[in-house]
Amino acid sequence: MTLNLSGVHKTLLLPLWSRAKLTLEGNSILLDPKAVEIVKGMQYDFDLIDRYLPFTSHAMNLGRARMFDYAIIRFLTDYPRASVANLGAGLDTTFSRVDNGSLTWYDIDLPDVIQLRKQLIPDTERSRCVSSPLGENRGSNCR
């Protein structure tokens, strides 16, 4: 798949690439074969990211993902049939790493992000994408 991302949408690739790159390099922080699969299916020059994103940023992306994975796995120990809402999901692949066979997962993001996500990470019986105008001013009194 050829990607034509511009502006802030290019940032969707940063954590995805970090997880794929360090998985391919055999890191011991976190393995993400789903991220590798997605990246291998894209026609995108990830060297552009590597020119500007230092190794420490890749490591921080993995550390952050590992911390969330750990917290979710611990929660699922007590509540194996839980529902998880992943707000601002982007191209996150956490479901593939923490799925216990019983949880229900919702990846929620802006409509154009969900459109891209569905092309790269199709819905499953227990993992679904939800399009939502997150953060849009809907006439609230909050300022």
> Quick one: which of 96, 113, 132, 127 has its CA closest to 11?
113
Tell me what pLDDT residue 5 has.
64
pLDDT of residue 136: 58
Within a domain: 32: yes
Q: Is residue 20 part of a domain?
A: yes
pLDDT digits (tens, 9 = 90+) for 18-42: 999 999 999 878 999 999 999 999 8
Answer whether residue 85 is part of any domain: yes
DSSP labels, the chain: -B----GGGGGGHHHHHHHHHHHHTT-SS---HHHHHHHHT-B--THHHHHHS-HHHHHHHHHHHHHHHHHHHHHHHH-TT-EEEEET-TT--HHHHH--SS-EEEEEE-HHHHHHHHHHS---SSEEEEE--TT---S-S--
| 117 in any annotated domain | yes
1 lies in some domain: no
Would 141 be classed as within a structural domain?
no
pLDDT the model gives residue 1: 59
Residues of the chain falling short of pLDDT 50: 140-143
Total of domains in the chain: 1
pLDDT at 62 (0 to 100): 93
Does residue 19 form part of some domain? yes
Range of the domain at 63: 7-131
CATH code, 47:
3.40.50.150
Q: What is the pLDDT of residues 80-91, one digit of tens each?
A: 999 999 999 999
- Is 140 part of a structural domain of the chain? no
